[in-house]
Structure formats: structure tokens, C-alpha cells
Chains A and B, each alone.
Chain A
Amino acid sequence: MSIQFGRRQALGLAAGLATSGLAAPLVARAQAAPVKIGLVALASGPAASLGNHLRDGFQLGMRHLENKLGGRAAEVLLIDDELRPDAAVTKVRAALERDKVDAVVGVVFSNILAAIMRPVTESQTFLISTNAGPSPFAGRGCNPYFFATSYVNDQNHAVMGKAAQDAGYGRVMLLVPNYQAGRDSVAGFKSEYKGTIVDEMYTPLTQMDFSAELARIAAARPDAVFTFMPGGLGVNLVRQYRQAGLANIPFLSAFTVDEASLPAQGEAAIGFQTGTTWTPTLPNEQNARFVRDFEAQFNYVPASYAAHAYDAAMLLHSAIGKTGGNLADKAALRAAIKAADFRSVRGRFAFGANHFPVQDFWLAKVAQRPDGKFQTEHVSKVYDNVTDPFAAQCRMPAG
């Protein structure tokens, strides 16, 4: 009797609670739960400093936004991809399934992006690359859940091809590491450069001394040298190029002299040229604030890895604000991201149909600032509001 009574009472109580509001606080709590962002930033290995730029750029964005994205509290989950695709996939899967992140942001290297592309987008989570931009994802492999705030990798090489063409260099010599990205770099440069390529030199990725190649350059006496030597390779090449007295031959490059490598290249890099989407000197209000606060906070000059990541934070803020904090309606969120209704440190910024930026590209030169630090400074606009050449191949599937 008492048991029956108890059960009936319990049922009644439960029914009453269900209708009158126990579920309501749960909904409210879900709404108030922080937005979780998985930030994939390389933190180990020789290239970790690029990941540090990326991480610090995004973190500065979050600080400027007072750790809120579109009015909702936000939480950043740091993921070190270790530059190993298998490790990246394992960690990103854990972030998706265990931590239930609402978006994945970051990624320095293209091979890591390629590895996590499917796991992230297939779980219908938005993936925003702040650096890696392999051309397949801009063309046939474009994806409704993927955006890039950076560029298509090939564009930076093509920019220098066009810059060399515009400068009227008749004979150019190319020097790149002997791997896929090196060969892509040569192809990108050649797509815009119509002059004579005196020679193409391919060096092993592990080669640190370029004296043999520098002697060949001196013997061939080209009008300019174009190179793509990321990270430590670029530090070695730039210093040895200067030491060999070759600096009177214009040094054109992509991903070789930037604020991540300049602290180690120093004076040797002054006057060397690079193609880029952004420099610390671009004259707009957001950029001035970004660079000033970044240096105050982290005590080094930001590179484009940091700038693109900062933009990604601002982009997410604008998009989540537009949907009123609702992350469940994917189509609405996608439209809000695509609108790119934020003020970029690059000035003008819009997404093309393939979710890659339509933007300006600059020829920039390395200079030393009055305070002794080194930075790239924009010289001239090479591409004006350009769409990448792969966008035409993209047939964006409906989400």
C-alpha cells in the first residue's frame, strides 16, 4: 500500500516537474554553456614557433572580445597537432566527441589540415583554417563546413611571379626544397612569370648549407632569385645569401622571410622581398590595434599566422552574434560566417563562393624598425581584390 502510494506520488511529482520546469533550466544551461573552440596550433617540433604565432593571434582576439563570441561565453581548447597527421586526427576526434567543440580553428600545415578535414566536416562541425590552404580544398574539394581566413597556398608564389614580371626581371633563377610544396611553388611562380627561367635548383629538405647553390647563382648572374624556404631553411639561406655578397641580386621569396623567421635572420634579411596578404604596416585601425596590443602582450612582432588567426576570432564573433548565439542551425551559421561581417586587419575582406577569401595581395620588403625589431612592410599591391584561381572548380554542395 505504502509502496503503491509512493510510486504514484513519485510519478505525479515527476510529471509535475516535467511540465512545470525541470527541463527548462536544462535548456537554459545549454544556452549558457560556453561556446567551445578547438584551436589546432602546433606546439612541438622545429616549426612550433609558427603555431605559437597562430595561438597568440587567436588568444589576443579572444582577449579583445573579452572571451565572448557573439555574446556567449567562449572557451578555447588548445590542441597540439605535433605536425603528425595521426596525432592530429586522434586529438581532434577527441575534441569533437568528448569535448563537443562547436568549431575547429587553426592549423599551420597543409598535411595536418588534409588529415582532419573529413573527421571535422563529417561531424558537421565548422572548420576554419587560419593558415593552411591546399588548392584541392579551394577547388573540387570545397566543403560547406570548411572556411579559410588565409589564402590558397599557391597564391603567395604566384604573387611573386607577377611581381617579378611587373618589375621587368628578364632572367630569374629558382631555388626550392625538393618536395611537393617546393615543386608547387615553382609551378605557382611560373603561372604568372613569363620571362626566362635560367635554372631551377632543387635541394634536399635536410640541406642546411647552400654554398654550392649560391656559387651557381653567382655564376649565372640572374636578374633576380625566387625561393621558397620555410622555417630554419630560410634562416640559413638568407644569412648565407647575404654573407656571400649576393644581396645585390634581388631576393624574391614566399614563406621565407616573415616575422616568425626575422628574429633569427635579422639584418641579413633587410630589403628582401616576399608576397603576402598582410603586413604589420597595413594602414587601418584594426591592424594598428592588433599589432600594438599583440606586441604589448607577447613581446614579439606578429606574423601573418597571428593576423589570420586574429581575424578568425573576429569572424566567429560576428557570425555567432548574427545567429543570436544559436549554433544548432548549421545553415544559418554558415550564412553568417560567409557574410564575413567583421573588420579584418587586412582592411577589405570577403569570402568567395568556395569559402576562401577574396582579398588583396602585397609585395612586401623586410625593414628594421626604429626600435631595432624587424618586420615586413608592404610596398605595392600586386593583386587587387582577387579570387583564387581554383574557385571556378568548386561546386559547393549544400550543407
Chain B
Amino acid sequence: MSLTLLLVQGLNGLQLGILLFLIAAGLTLVFGVMDFINLAHGVQYMLGAYFAAHFAAATDSFWLALLLALPATLLVGLVLEFLVFRHLYDRDHMAQVLATFGVILILNDGVRWVFGSAPLQVPMPEALTGGFPIMDGLLYPHYRLAIIAGGLATAGLLWWLVERTKVGMLIRAGATNAPMVAALGVDIRRLFMVVFGFGAMLAGFAGVMAAPILSVEPGMGDNLLILAFVVIVIGGIGSVRGAFLAALLVGLVETLGRSLMPDVMRLFLDPSSARQVGAALASMLVYIAMAAILALRPAGLFPVRTA
């Protein structure tokens, strides 16, 4: 394993981390501010990708598709909030898990119904096709760099929104003590709706960004959702800063683990069992890391101080 290969894998891990952050940011806000477990958050990611595929085919432009997909996912998020989630805020977590799981099933089959079950593809934007040679014989696609840049910019914007604006202040206050914020005369329901719609749009944004490199298919958000939950638990529920750092950590552990584990195992085992054990260990590594972090800091890396 050469140093360049390690750097390439680091970049790959960073890119996965950025995508995870975009999904986890909304999830951690909704969970932290509203104490609401939304399993259907991964579906928003899938819908973002499907909207991108649909609009890209209709308009022949990735950028127009991005522009149209964002309000579309925002709208879906608000409609879901109005129709379903609003009625669950006061229920216990089990009811929320059940209901939002039902939403996953309905929407996964819904997109199959509307778009068919064959995977779709979204062409890369013309300006970002191609890549630069990062090591001998390997191109790093420009588009993946754009994902990293776009994700970092979004993280910056989010930090500014949460830390420097009035709405952000209310959100932070809501995460600490929601009833108190309501008692001070803030319409907490409307705040919840804003947070919810915004979180849905962030996940949709992640879906749009991922669509040109991944196949767009029903259920594509389900696996990422599990990792996103790992991220918000490691980061501390309700903390955007924690989600950011945890997402990068999970992305790096996941990617480097997959790439290094078989080699590490080869030091102890014969090649064929090293490959098997390495692959198995690599898929556990993220959860081992989560267990280790929770053992040291039970509330996550950046716990939100609750009243």
C-alpha cells in the first residue's frame, strides 16, 4: 500500500463522509430539535435522486434538474410533515418508528410504480466530465471533487444558519428545551416544519449529487440511512457540528477499513482467509468505532446540553 493509494482512499472516504453529512444533518436536527425519529429520511435522499433523473431527462440539463429537484424534495418533505409526521410528534418513539417505516415502504413502492423498477441513470454535467490523473492509471473524476466542494459549502452555510441567524438560534434553543421556547411565544410547530422541510431538502440535495455516480433505484436510501444514524449517534444527537465530524470519521473508517483490512489481516493469516476475514471485519469496523466512542462518551462527541 503506497502513500498515494492511501491519499486516494482518504479522498474517497472524505467524499462518502460529505454525502453522509448531508443526510445526517437533517436527521440530527429533526431528532434533536423535535425528538422525532424519522426513518423515512433516507427516502428523501432517494426522491432527490429520482427527481434529478426525471428532470434531467426532461430538461437535458443537470443544473436545471438540480434547481428543480431541490424545491420538489422540499415540497415532498412539507407534505409528508403535514399529512403524517405532524400527528406523531406527541407520540412515543415506537409509534414514530412504525409510522415512518410505513412511509419508507409506501414511497419505495411508489417510485417503482411511477418510474419503474429498472435502475435509472443521470448523466454527469458536461462541464464536470473527465477527471485528473491522481495516480498512475487512475482518474479522479472532477465530479467527485465537485461533490466534496458542494458538501463543504453546504456545511459552511449550515454552520452560518445555525450559529449566526435568528432562526438558527431558535433551533439551538429548541434542541435544548423545546417547551421553554414555546413558552416564550415562538410558534414551535412552524419552527418544526421549517426544520423538517430544510432537512428533507438537504437529504434530497445529497440524492441529486449522488445520482450521476450511483444508480438511481428504489430503496437506495435505506442502507445510507443506517450509516446516517450511526453518524448522528457518534456526533451527538442534535449537533450539526458533531454530525459533520462524525460523518467524515465514518466515511474515512468505512473506506480505509475496506481497503486496508484485507492487507492488515494478511500479516496474521494466509491470503484466502485474510480476504474473507478482512472483508467481514471491514464491514463491522464502523460499528466497532461507534461502540468504542459511546463507551468513552455516552452522549456522543458533541452532546447538546439539555435542560
Residues of A within 8 A of B (CB): 44-49, 52, 178, 200-204, 206-209, 211-216, 218-219, 221, 231-232, 235-236, 239-240, 243-246, 248-249, 260-261, 263-266
Q: Which residue of A lies closest to B15 (CB)?
A: A211
- Asked if A215 and B12 make an inter-chain contact with CB atoms under 8 angstroms apart, the answer reads yes
Q: Which residue of B lies closest to A216 (CB)?
A: B259
Q: Given A215-B259, A216-B259, do A243 and B214 touch, yes or no (CB 8 Å)?
A: no
| B229 → A minimal CB distance (Å) | 14
Contact of A218 among B137, B143, B218 (CB under 8 A): B137
Q: Which residue of A lies closest to B11 (CB)?
A: A211
Contact stretch, chosen from B75-83, B118-126, B194-202, B289-297? B118-126
A47 to B112, CA, bound (A): 11
| A384 → B minimal CB distance (Å) | 33
- Asked if A48 and B213 make an inter-chain contact with CB atoms under 8 angstroms apart, the answer reads no
Contact flags B212-246 to A (C-beta < 8 A → 1, else 0)? 01111111100100000000000000000000000
Q: Given A46-B217, A246-B137, do A264 and B12 touch, yes or no (CB 8 Å)?
A: no
- Asked if B139 and A219 make an inter-chain contact with CB atoms under 8 angstroms apart, the answer reads no
Residues from chain A with Cβ under 8 Å of B8 in the complex: 215
B141 within 8 A of A: yes
B12, B120, B139, B258: residue with the most chain A Cβ atoms closer than 10 Å: B258
Residues from chain A with Cβ under 8 Å of B215 in the complex: 208, 232, 235-236, 239, 264
- Asked if B117 and A46 make an inter-chain contact with CB atoms under 8 angstroms apart, the answer reads yes
- Asked if B118 and A215 make an inter-chain contact with CB atoms under 8 angstroms apart, the answer reads no
Q: Which residue of B lies closest to A211 (CB)?
A: B12
Contact of A214 among B138, B256, B262 (CB under 8 A): B138
Residues from chain B with Cβ under 8 Å of A239 in the complex: 121, 213, 215
Residues from chain B with Cβ under 8 Å of A261 in the complex: 119
B112, B119, B219: residue with the most chain A Cβ atoms closer than 10 Å: B119
Q: Which residue of A lies closest to B262 (CB)?
A: A201
- Asked if A244 and B139 make an inter-chain contact with CB atoms under 8 angstroms apart, the answer reads yes
A201 to B271, CA, bound (A): 11
Q: Name 14 extra pairs, CB < 8 A, besides A208-B220, A221-B136, A245-B137.
A: A45-B219, A46-B117, A48-B112, A200-B272, A206-B223, A208-B214, A212-B9, A219-B135, A221-B137, A232-B220, A236-B214, A244-B139, A264-B118, A264-B216
Which 7 interchain pairs have the tightest Cβ spacing? A245-B139, A218-B138, A235-B215, A48-B117, A49-B118, A202-B279, A211-B12
- Asked if A49 and B117 make an inter-chain contact with CB atoms under 8 angstroms apart, the answer reads yes
Residues of B within 8 A of A (CB): 2, 5, 8-9, 12, 15-16, 109, 112, 116-121, 124, 131, 133, 135-141, 143-144, 213-220, 223, 255-256, 258-259, 262, 272, 275-276, 279-280, 283
Q: Given A46-B217, A239-B213, do A232 and B137 touch, yes or no (CB 8 Å)?
A: no
- Asked if B214 and A209 make an inter-chain contact with CB atoms under 8 angstroms apart, the answer reads yes
Residues from chain B with Cβ under 8 Å of A209 in the complex: 12, 16, 213-214
Contact of B141 among A236, A244, A249, A263 (CB under 8 A): A244
Q: Which residue of B lies closest to A204 (CB)?
A: B283
- Asked if B12 and A212 make an inter-chain contact with CB atoms under 8 angstroms apart, the answer reads yes
- Asked if A216 and B5 make an inter-chain contact with CB atoms under 8 angstroms apart, the answer reads yes
Q: Given A216-B5, A264-B215, do A243 and B141 touch, yes or no (CB 8 Å)?
A: yes
Residues from chain B with Cβ under 8 Å of A221 in the complex: 136-137
14 pairs of residues in contact across A and B, judged by CB atoms under 8 Å: A46-B119, A48-B112, A49-B117, A178-B280, A202-B279, A213-B258, A215-B259, A236-B215, A243-B141, A245-B137, A245-B138, A245-B139, A264-B119, A265-B121
Residues from chain A with Cβ under 8 Å of B119 in the complex: 46, 49, 231-232, 235, 261, 264
Residues from chain B with Cβ under 8 Å of A260 in the complex: 118
| B284 → A minimal CB distance (Å) | 10
Q: Given A215-B5, A266-B121, do A244 and B138 touch, yes or no (CB 8 Å)?
A: yes
A203 to B118, CA, bound (A): 22
Residues from chain B with Cβ under 8 Å of A46 in the complex: 117, 119, 217-219
A44 to B119, CA, bound (A): 13
| A241 → B minimal CB distance (Å) | 11
A48, A215, A239, A249: residue with the most chain B Cβ atoms closer than 10 Å: A215
- Asked if B255 and A49 make an inter-chain contact with CB atoms under 8 angstroms apart, the answer reads no
| A359 → B minimal CB distance (Å) | 27
Q: Which residue of B lies closest to A263 (CB)?
A: B118
- Asked if B112 and A44 make an inter-chain contact with CB atoms under 8 angstroms apart, the answer reads yes
- Asked if A246 and B138 make an inter-chain contact with CB atoms under 8 angstroms apart, the answer reads yes
Residues from chain A with Cβ under 8 Å of B118 in the complex: 49, 52, 260, 263-264
Residues from chain A with Cβ under 8 Å of B138 in the complex: 214-215, 218-219, 244-246
- Asked if A219 and B121 make an inter-chain contact with CB atoms under 8 angstroms apart, the answer reads no
Q: Given A49-B118, A216-B5, A245-B139, do A202 and B275 touch, yes or no (CB 8 Å)?
A: yes
| B53 → A minimal CB distance (Å) | 10
- Asked if A178 and B121 make an inter-chain contact with CB atoms under 8 angstroms apart, the answer reads no
Q: Which residue of B lies closest to A53 (CB)?
A: B118
Q: Which residue of B lies closest to A248 (CB)?
A: B137
A240 to B210, CA, bound (A): 12
